[in-house]
Amino acid sequence: MSDARARFRALHQSGCFVIPNPWDVGGARRLEKLGFPALASSSAAVAWTLGKADGEIILEEALDHLRLLCGATDLPVNADFEAGFADEPLELARNVTLCVGTGVAGLSIEDRTGQTLYDLDLAVERIRAARAAIDATGGDVILVARSEGFLLGRTELAPTVERLAAYAAAGADCLYAPGVRDLSAIRELVQALAPKPVNVLLSTTDASVAELAAAGVRRVSVGGALAARAWKAFDAAAELLAKDGRLPK
């Protein structure tokens, strides 16, 4: 575990790496064989496997899933820990401690509750509490602070930069604003937050990994995109079976 965490931290020091998001043991092992250096969970993907919508899983389900992924691979695993399954910093800290105990090498915390963002002061306190909880475990776990404004239709870059800079000051190791699409905006985001590493969600931008790397992005994740494609193929095959009694060739 300590070796995986050290390797994960080293990945954030320079260059650019892709961190795909499996949702089961088979997917984790297939991605490992393809040579990816790290993996991340996806709250949407695990919810779909449980017959739920994104955002509907509970803390215990998230922890069970993280134990499953961490036990399936020697690669570092970053947890999509949603909003920490708590509003108040003290409860968030308790949950972060439980998350670290699953064996993850990193975990992300969102700054949204439902369809709104937390007040900035509270959002900063939540990141500070998560940082303190990680440090108290003695585990060298990467803390990723996510600002969700772009996913909520708040597409002005400056407020997102302000939030992420505040989270960096509160102890976040890596910064993430899912939904930023334009490459010039991504470049501006990276420059404004340097030297902290920035994560970009590949499925919400038209830029390639190579273009993102050239813009200074440190890591690229795919969220629920792999799972969505898998379920789309499943649904198409099942529909053909139900209607025509045959399977796709």
List the domain boundaries for the chain: 2-224
Q: What is the mean pLDDT of the chain?
A: 97
Mean pLDDT for the stretch of residues 22-38: 97
Q: Please tell me what DSSP assigns to residue 97.
A: H
User: How confident is the model over 173-203, as pLDDT tens digits?
Assistant: 999 999 999 999 999 999 999 999 999 999 9
- Asked if the model's pLDDT at residue 249 lies above 80, the reply is yes
Query: CB-hemisphere CA count at 13 Å for 191?
Result: 10
Confidence of residue 47 (pLDDT cuts 50, 70, 90): very high
For 41, the token pair is: 């969970």
Confidence of residue 2 (pLDDT cuts 50, 70, 90): confident
Mean pLDDT for the stretch of residues 6-13: 97
112-113 and 116-117: which strand pairing?
A: antiparallel
Contact 66, 103 (CB under 8 A): yes
- Asked if the model's pLDDT at residue 92 lies above 90, the reply is yes
Task: Confirm or reject CATH 3.20.20.60 for domain 2-224, answering yes or no.
Answer: yes
Q: Spell 125-139 as b/e; 16+ CB within 10 A means b.
A: bbbbbbbebbeeeeb
For 81, the token pair is: 């820990």
Confidence of residue 55 (pLDDT cuts 50, 70, 90): very high
Question: What percent of the chain stands above pLDDT 90?
Answer: 98
- Report the pLDDT value the prediction gives residue 219, as an integer from 0 to 100: 98
DSSP reduced 3-state for 144: strand
Mean pLDDT for the stretch of residues 230-235: 96
Q: Cis omega (within 30 of 0) on the bond before 195?
A: yes
DSSP E strands in the chain: the ranges are 17-19, 39-40, 77-80, 106-109, 112-113, 116-117, 142-146, 174-176, 198-201, 219-221
- Report the pLDDT value the prediction gives residue 156, as an integer from 0 to 100: 93
Rounded Cα distance between 72 and 183, Å, is 35
Question: What percent of the chain stands above pLDDT 70?
Answer: 100
Q: Please tell me what DSSP assigns to residue 216.
A: T
Rounded Cα distance between 195 and 186, Å, is 14
- Report the pLDDT value the prediction gives residue 50, as an integer from 0 to 100: 95
Q: pTM surpassing 0.85?
A: yes
For 28, the token pair is: 């984790």
- Asked if the model's pLDDT at residue 139 lies above 90, the reply is no
- Report the pLDDT value the prediction gives residue 1, as an integer from 0 to 100: 73
Contacts 24+ apart (CB under 8 A), 181-189: 181/150, 181/205, 181/206, 183/207, 183/211, 183/212, 183/215, 185/157, 186/212, 186/215, 186/217, 187/215, 187/216, 188/157, 188/161, 189/157, 189/160, 189/161, 189/164
Mean pLDDT for the stretch of residues 211-216: 98
- Asked if the model's pLDDT at residue 13 lies above 90, the reply is yes
Mean pLDDT for the stretch of residues 131-135: 98
